Amino acid sequence: MTYLGEEIFRARLLSGAQTSEAEGFGWFFHYMLLPLVAFPANCFLILLVLLSPFALLRSEPLPEHVRPLALGILIGAAIVIYAIQFWYVYILPRKDCFRLCERGLQIRIGLRRADILFDDLKMIFHGRTLSRTEQKLCTVNRIFNPGIHAITAKSVDQSLTFVYTNGETRVFKGLLARFEPEDMTTLSEELIARHPRFGETPTTTASDEP
């Protein structure tokens, strides 16, 4: 693990509903649509994909005495899949963090984690570079689905891109939507005060705008 020195400032984490609001979805999506609609639908689709090969290979129905066991396994698998989704969306994000330390930044978003030394960092900027496919989709959505386009644009604006001295680029999508805006401003000001060179980097690039 990279040693970053003593912690200087830690941004406070927003709740899941607040993050959903910041991303343009809203609390209803976070607390109702996800657990009651999206998660069960994902369970059904995953089980359908997993069981399809067996259904195609087996021409005869299951014997009567095997059906209760098969049903129990199916229900158990659905519960496990649902629990994994619930953990990933509602439990895991509670450990997210964005810390400014003496020698670098520590970021944890979901399963992604980065300990970034200032000596290894060339620049930081808001937004991210869209792929060609994303740019084409944004062009289509701007015309035919403005709502989706607005959410995509907000997601791009809430991302942070880190460019390393070795040329590597690392993007954290939606990072700014996970933490208190006031704390992110304070962290940015403290970072620039200690390392003025990061204040000279652009906040956006032409390719970041969808």
pLDDT in tens, 81-119: 999 999 999 999 999 999 999 999 999 999 999 999 999
Whether residue 62 lies inside any domain: the answer is yes
The Cα-based distances of 147 to 104, 114, 172, 181 in angstroms read 37, 32, 23, 23
Tens of pLDDT, residues 52-74: 887 777 767 778 888 888 889 99
Tens-digit pLDDT profile for residues 172-197: 988 999 999 999 999 999 999 888 88
Q: Are residues 67 and 23 in the same domain?
A: yes
- For the question of whether the overall pTM of this predicted structure is more than 0.85, the answer is no
Q: Which of 36, 59, 93 is the last residue of a domain?
A: 93
Look over the chain and give the mean of its residue pLDDT values, rounded to a whole number. Answer: 87
Q: What is the CATH number of the domain that holds 176?
A: 2.30.29
**Single-letter amino acid, residue 197:** R
Within-domain flag for 141: yes
Is the CB of residue 172 less than 8 Å from the CB of residue 160? yes
Domain count, the chain: 2
pLDDT for 118 equals: 93
Residue 136: other Cβ atoms inside 10 A: 11
Pick from 60, 93, 126: which residue ends a domain? 93
Q: Residue 9 domain-assigned? A: no
Q: Is 42 exposed, middle or buried (0-12, 13-18, 19+ CB in 10 A)?
A: middle
Say if CB 117 and CB 124 are below 8 A apart: no
